[in-house]
Amino acid sequence: MRVLDSHLHLWDPELLHYAWLEGPLAWLFGTTEIENSRIVRATTEKAVFVQAETVEDDFLDEVRWVASLADRVGVVGIVAGARLDRDTDTTAHLEGLAAEPLVVGVRHNLQGEPDGLAVSAAFVTGAREVAARDWTFDACVRAEQLPEIARLAGAVPELRIVLDHLGKPEVGTADAPVAPSMEWVRDLDDLARHPQVFCKLSGLPGEAGGDWSAEQLEPFLDAAADAFGVERLMWGSDWPVSVIGPAEEGYEYAPEDGSPTYQPTARSRWADAVIAWAERRGHDLDAILWRNAEEFYRIGERPPHTDAREERPRRGVLGWLRGERS
């Protein structure tokens, strides 16, 4: 079974700057960590790296760092960080990204932005520049922002957009599940009417705070399939954001105070949950796990990347869990 993870993060707080990392996430997540979090059922595993919200000045450095790890990690495309509302500065930044062969798209993280930004004149101009370069746009928004992305899709119909994390609907937890809201289903359907918009089956474990069950999340997968059709869905792990939560049963490094921690098998469990759901529904599994992301990001049209640089040793989350703290 081949898997192209459409939403993988990597980060190194000693090398780049992130204002949002805290707790178990505030550690290196690089080659060693992802190697210990592979998908059990995958015979071939590749990934699209999605920008990890470094500070703006580090956007290009992040791309170069990930490119240096690409062969070892299996990254075949990079969705770079970009601000699309910076006018000439946006243009200059996109020109800088164009020199990086693994860049396939950009993400301006919108979930914390003021209402209306994604349809402002400056943002729409920036989005048109992205489309002109034949790149994609990852839309990371809250559920109430879905209508804004539909308006962006209408304003720039040539832009290929993918909705991250199904629009981050409220899902509850395994013990207290929340059913899909009528408003979210309505707005998802409206967005899906734009044929250039795709949807990632990603991020729901993170929305549940790492406390989730397959049964709890399947209604959201069904709603996405009904809205977009299987041909516009792609699986993503949202690793490592979506693998933080209650300690897994039998986990030897579980915090004594019960606080959230790293879940070593959660990435593979999320893949298994989506695989089982797709098989029961009779959906095209290879399309969801590989082909749709490959076609959306046009991975097969780009030459393979090689980089001979060696990654210098750093202390990652696995060492922290084992008590190897300095």
In this prediction, what percent of the chain has a pLDDT beyond 70? 92
Would you say residue 311 has pLDDT above 90? no
Between helix 214-228 and helix 182-192 the angle, nearest 10°, is 40
Cross-strand partners of 200:
234
Render pLDDT for 206-222 as a digit per residue (tens, 0 to 9): 999 999 999 999 999 99
pTM above 0.85, yes or no: yes
Please give the CATH topology (third level) of the domain spanning 2-321. Answer: TIM Barrel (3.20.20)
The pairing of strands 2-8 and 44-50 is: parallel
Contacts of 56 by beta carbon, 8 Å cutoff, 6+ apart: 81, 83
What average pLDDT does this structure show over 80-105?
Answer: 98
Q: From the centroid of its chain, how far is CA 118? A: 19
Closest by CA to 283, choosing from 231, 323, 237, 214, is: 231
State which H helix or E strand residue 78 sits in. Answer: strand 75-81
Reduce the DSSP state of residue 285 to 3 states and report it: helix
Render pLDDT for 269-283 as a digit per residue (tens, 0 to 9): 999 999 999 999 999
Contacts of 252 by beta carbon, 8 Å cutoff, 6+ apart: none
Would you say residue 99 has pLDDT above 80? yes
The reported pLDDT for the residue numbered 300 is 76
Would you say residue 126 has pLDDT above 90? yes
What average pLDDT does this structure show over 107-128?
Answer: 97
- Helix ranges (H only) for the chain are 31-35, 59-73, 88-97, 121-132, 146-155, 182-192, 204-207, 214-228, 266-281, 285-286, 292-296, 317-321
161-187 burial, b at 16+ Cβ within 10 Å, e below that, comes to: bbbbbbbbbebbbbeeeeebeeebbeb
How far is residue 128's CA from residue 273's CA, in Å, rounded to a whole number?
37
Tokens 């209508």 identify what position? 147
Give Dmax over CA atoms of the chain in angstroms: 54
* DSSP for residue 81: E
The reported pLDDT for the residue numbered 26 is 96
pLDDT band for 317, please (50, 70, 90 cuts). Answer: low
How far is residue 57's CA from residue 17's CA, in Å, rounded to a whole number?
9
pLDDT band for 314, please (50, 70, 90 cuts). Answer: low
The reported pLDDT for the residue numbered 308 is 41
